[in-house]
């Protein structure tokens, strides 16, 4: 029996003060909507995303899954109803895109709880450090009887620490039936998804709730809450990395992307930032104040300090990329050394080649990018400019201060600079 996850992502996010839809804002380099979609893909057979009109960016982020549009924003129950044609008879879960940190493990736990059969509706609950203005889950005999919003709660109900976290799951046919009975007799005239708890109880259904870790339940409605969610994600990601064999001297200063891959025995010094699409293989070392994105660092390589690896950088085994070296769209073979003050862009550097300080690959002619190819065990002297397209052969040496505009053959020496002239200094005038 097919299972379905519905993700409600139609919110404008007015409090975000942004032209982007709320669900398009990023945590650890990944859009909030994508966080939920990728988790749901691990658990559910079908995913349906509910967006608002003119949210093309969210539609693109939802591919290849089903997208439906809530043309009028009449509340969360109304948003869920837009996905009703996809509910089917199997389990159907509803999540909110502004609760982006719900894990696949929690989604699976909701599904498993429903499949025990002793409850027809299962809610995500949480016990926050401060219940504050969260809606309270009022229970009796182990089942939830209703959700009471903060403004409507009695003094006794406000003492309840178990709160509504938003997500829920039930059989598709049941959710469809309950949604059809939700009214809008409230101050905002909206149809609220939380009303199905009372409706389900009235119709004789049992409603259960799981107590989910608060770190997964945080809602994001403002820039400040986005920063809080980022901090929670980073803490979780760092702990997972260290548990897998990564060393971090000051983990609170290291920032990971949602898709960062770190091999066993990788060492990360303080103040390192990983952008999206980075893979670091075993035994590599990333030194302080380095920034990596869209790159591969292979086993045993040393990066930094103060290095920048941009998209397309592929750093070979045991290579050294030192301080103030920038690499972009270039493959460096094993054993390459570029220890300081260099720009290596759009090129290929052969194994065990040395790139001297101040060397730059002049890869752009104002219109197009061109390649610089350097062979194995070459030596590029300090303050050299390699004007692409150009190649330097195996074992060749480029003298310091040279501007190389023509290919350098294998095992040759290239000198492209003005000849040094020494003249006698005139004696000072009396």
Closest C-alpha to 28, from 248, 276, 296, 312:
276
Q: What are phi and psi of 179, to 5 degrees?
A: -60, -35
Answer yes or no: 340 catalytic.
yes
Q: What are phi and psi of 311, to 5 degrees?
A: -55, 135
Residue 46, SS3? strand
Beta strand 91-96 with 121-126: parallel, antiparallel or unpaired? unpaired
DSSP string, 248-304: ESSGGG-B--TT-EE-TT-EE-SS-EE-SSEEE-TT-EE-TT-EE-SEEE-TT-EE-
**Of all helices (H) and strands (E), which one includes residue 229?**
helix 223-243
Residues near 351 by beta carbon (within 8 Å), at least 6 away in sequence = 316, 333, 334, 335, 336, 376, 377
DSSP summary character for residue 400: T
Peptide bond into 305 cis (omega under 30): yes
Which of the residues 35, 78, 340, 352 is marked catalytic? 340
Which DSSP symbol is given to 23?
A: G
Annotate 295-318 with b (16+ C-beta within 10 A) or e (fewer).
Answer: bbbbbbbbbbbbbbbbebbbbbbb
Measured between alpha carbons, how far is residue 5 from residues 44, 69, 136, 402, 430 in Å? 6, 16, 24, 61, 94
What letters, b where the CB count within 10 A reaches 16 and e where it falls short, cover 268-289? Answer: bbebbbbbbbbbbbebbbbbbb
Residue (of 226, 115, 108) closest to 167 by Cα position: 108
Strands in 97-219 per DSSP E: 121-126, 136-140, 143-148, 163-171, 207-212
Q: Which residues are catalytic?
A: 340
């Amino acid at each position: 029996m097919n299972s379905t996850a519905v993700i409600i992502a139609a919110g404008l996010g007015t409090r975000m003060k942004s032209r982007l839809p709320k669900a398009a804002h990023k945590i650890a380099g990944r859009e909030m909507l994508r966080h939920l979609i990728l988790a749901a893909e691990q658990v559910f057979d079908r995913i349906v995303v509910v967006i608002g009109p003119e949210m093309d960016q969210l539609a693109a982020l939802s591919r290849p899954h089903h997208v439906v549009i809530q043309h009028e924003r009449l509340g969360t129950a109304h948003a869920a109803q837009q996905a009703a044609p996809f509910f089917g008879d199997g389990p159907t879960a509803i999540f909110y895109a502004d609760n982006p940190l719900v894990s696949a493990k929690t989604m699976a736990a909701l599904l498993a709880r429903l499949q025990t059969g002793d409850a027809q509706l299962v809610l995500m609950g949480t016990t926050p450090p401060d219940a504050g203005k969260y809606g309270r889950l009022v229970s009796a005999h182990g089942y939830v009887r209703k959700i009471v919003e903060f403004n409507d709660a009695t003094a006794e109900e406000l003492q309840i620490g178990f709160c509504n976290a938003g997500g829920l799951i039930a059989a598709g046919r049941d959710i469809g039936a309950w949604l059809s009975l939700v009214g809008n007799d409230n101050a905002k005239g909206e149809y609220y998804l939380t009303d199905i708890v009372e409706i389900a109880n009235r119709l004789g259904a049992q409603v259960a709730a799981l107590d989910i870790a608060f770190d997964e339940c945080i809602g994001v409605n403002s820039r400040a809450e986005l920063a809080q969610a980022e901090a929670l994600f980073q803490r979780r990601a760092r702990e997972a990395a260290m548990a897998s064999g990564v060393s971090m001297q000051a983990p609170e200063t290291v920032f990971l992307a949602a898709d960062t891959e770190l091999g066993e025995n990788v060492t990360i010094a303080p103040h390192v930032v990983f952008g999206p699409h980075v893979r670091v293989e075993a035994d590599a070392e990333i030194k302080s104040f380095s920034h990596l994105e869209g790159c591969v660092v292979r086993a045993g390589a040393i990066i930094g300090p103060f290095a920048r690896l941009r998209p397309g950088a592929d750093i070979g085994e045991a290579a050294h990329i030192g301080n103030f070296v920038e690499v972009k769209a270039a493959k460096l073979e094993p054993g390459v050394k570029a220890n300081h003050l260099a720009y290596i862009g759009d090129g290929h550097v052969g194994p065990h080649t040395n790139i001297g300080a101040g060397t730059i690959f002049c890869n752009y002619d104002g219109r197009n990018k061109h390649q610089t190819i350097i062979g194995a065990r070459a030596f590029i002297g300090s303050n050299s400019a390699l004007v692409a397209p150009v190649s330097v052969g195996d074992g060749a040496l480029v003298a310091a201060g040279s501007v190389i505009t023509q290919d350098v053959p294998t095992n040759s020496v290239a000198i492209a600079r003005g000849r040094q002239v020494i003249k006698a200094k005139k004696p000072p005038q009396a």
